[in-house]
Amino acid sequence: MQFPVSFTDRMQRLLGPQEYPQFLEALQATPPVSVRINKAKAMAVATLQPVPWAETGHYLPERPLFTLDPAIHAGAYYVQEASSMFIEQALKQAVHLEEPLQVLDLCGAPGGKSTHLASLISEDSLLVSNEVIRSRASILAENVAKWGSGNVLVTCNDPRDFGRLKNFFDVMVVDAPCSGEGMFRKDPQAVGEWSEENVKLCAQRQQRILMDVWDSLKPGGLLIYSTCTWNEQENEENIAWLSEQEGAESIKLQLQPEWGVVPTQLSGVEGYRFYPHRVQGEGFFMAVVRKAGIDESFTNHSKSKKKKYKLSEAGKKEKSLVQDWFLQPEKYSFLQYGDVVSALPEHLFEAADEVYQNLYVVYAGTEVAEVKGKKLKPLQGLALSQHINKEAFSTADLDLEQALRYLRKEDISLGTNGNDWVLLQYKGLPLGWAKQIGNRMNNYYPKEWRIRMELPQELLETTIVSE
């Protein structure tokens, strides 16, 4: 792999003559493969090597064909690059995670950091996961739905739109679009697209993004900034610039020497670098700053009765039908937007409504059912929810071939009869819905989610998680 001269010159300066050859050698090696387990649905197989800075992160000995593992479609785990899981340390070391928080993942697609954040924050917290490109926002919504935490709003907005939510978020994650130097090993095409001019353009765009969203962070709130690149312009210089402009306080994280993370400092701002010869992961940079001031906002519930809401409660009939579908229905507000009934933790209603008032929401909470005349059709979001009451439905367990054929949206037969909705499962993990009509089984897996690859003649089971 040939790299641009200006890139190699800079990396030699950053790493020095002793480390640089090790760095180059690492870039030629096979990238490690890592996953993060959804503890609400599964537990890791004991033999997997842990990612040292992420409690539910694990390395795989080789890369399996993930598409043919029904557990990934059930949201039991997420394939995520290990270095980027380091945001867990920022949250655990600098945030009171037991408190109710309002969190933003600004550049959320395809969903690695968003599903990670959803696992780290409390059930009383709201996560707004945003993606500016509509097609990528749909992928983000799919992965959020599969994770099934139920306290996430997926939005599709430009960063400047968040200025309408002044002092709204306690924590903001900006994994900024960058020149991608840290992905050279995984994506050789990124090498050909790299240039010093592109680095400059990325750095300028990142500054614009930071300033566009800064007002929506509460005083005293935390900004976690990250890129998958190594140059100082997009990393240390940008955060030093932000701190100078806004008086933000740099947060220093505690590192374990065996992690191999390299701390940096520029103008009093701490940063954290990940190099492939030092860590089992790709290139990554992260910095954490706290916004100056003290948050003095509070919610005056006595005035909230006069507020005109955009969200509306589902009708009594619809609500009575879906309540039993949740393990603790008393904790939820059941909302209706068009023909779709969604569930959202009740205490998040007002915050969610404010998001609806100001942003374009793609997916909210748990999509429970679609109103079809006098009947309700259960939706995929409910099937994959961490909070579904499976005892409220007929269930059927599929073997590997049946599960994959279902996920391909093929017709399947279980040799049963009846006239009811059936929750199909693989090893106890819900996959989605089918409708039993006599001895026929109609497949209701979302067509846009279906597996498109042909199934091999010999199906080999990929065992990554267990119940």
Q: Among 355, 327, 321, 359, which residue's Cα sits nearest to residue 341? A: 321
Positions annotated as catalytic residues are: 228
Q: Is 187 annotated as a binding residue?
A: no
Residue type, 224: I
Residue 131 marked in a binding site: yes
- Residue 20 is given by DSSP the state H
Cβ pair 41, 149 in contact under 8 A: no
Does the annotation flag 158 for ligand binding? yes
Distance CA 54, CA 37 (A): 10
Q: Find, among 224, 235, 5, the residue nearest to 116 by Cα.
A: 224
Apex 410 CA angle, 134 and 62, nearest 5 = 70
Nearest residue to 23 (alpha-carbon basis) of 283, 265, 236: 283
Dist CA 413 CA 401 (whole Å): 12
Whole-number Cα distances in Å, 163 to 105, 166, 213, 218, 364: 15, 6, 6, 12, 21
Separation between Cα atoms, residue 392 and residue 398, nearest integer Å: 19
**Cα 173 from Cα 167, distance rounded (Å):** 15
Known binding-site residue numbers: 131, 158, 175
Provide the annotated binding site for S-adenosyl-L-methionine: 131, 158, 175
